[in-house]
Amino acid sequence: MSAKKHSFFHRNSLSIVFLSLFILALIAQAIFGWHQHNAELKQDHAAALTFLTYLQSGHFISSTFENFESEFLQMALYVVLTVGLRQKGSAESKALDEEEDVDKEPTPGPDAPWPVRKGGLILKLYENSLFLVFLILFLICWYLHLYGSWVDHNQENIVKGEPTDTMANYLLQANFWFESFQNWQSEFLSIASIVIFTIFLRQKGSPESKPVDAPDSKTGK
């Protein structure tokens, strides 16, 4: 069936719905985070922040990119580790012994993406572009999380009349790493869950599940 016979929403509904949920959740996080942070400032007898000022605060930057960071780390590891690692019976794993389409060498053709037709270094980068982009996004978000957490930490110290820390000193303290690992462990658990649960459980119609009548031992979708 031609793509023209489907509406724009039908062709892009998965990304539209998830991006819409992301925007709504981010707005809700900002509003509730603003109220929470102002409540904390009130307890410390400090002036409340306007909403726009809060969006530039270390508290908002840290909490936002702390979550982004863990998601991009999750996806970067998931993409690269599924190249070589297997899980018997999981819909999220490649077959144990058979070569799959994703392992075949790319073949230039009129419908192939431009980097495939170009070849050389461009193709090598393109072959790993999904992992590289997730890795770069993780590193950017990791730094912004560190920056926001450091700024928030120093603002708290100023309110309490305590000395501020350099970013290097703050990086050696437990708080930043506590924030990181409490998110990282949840992402690793979610990946392990879908890898293992898809061995035994099914969802009819979902590409993330094996066919309902597939045996538990079947590996891959």
pLDDT tens digits, one per residue of 206-219: 989 999 999 999 99
Amino acid, single-letter form, for residue 202 = R
Angstrom CA distances, 6 to 2, 75, 173, 186, 206, stand at 8, 30, 54, 38, 20
Indicate yes or no: pTM above 0.85.
yes
pLDDT tens digits, one per residue of 73-114: 999 999 999 999 999 999 999 998 888 888 889 989 888 999
Question: What integer pLDDT is reported at residue 103 of this predicted model?
Answer: 87
Which residues of the chain are under the pLDDT cut of 70? Answer: 1-4
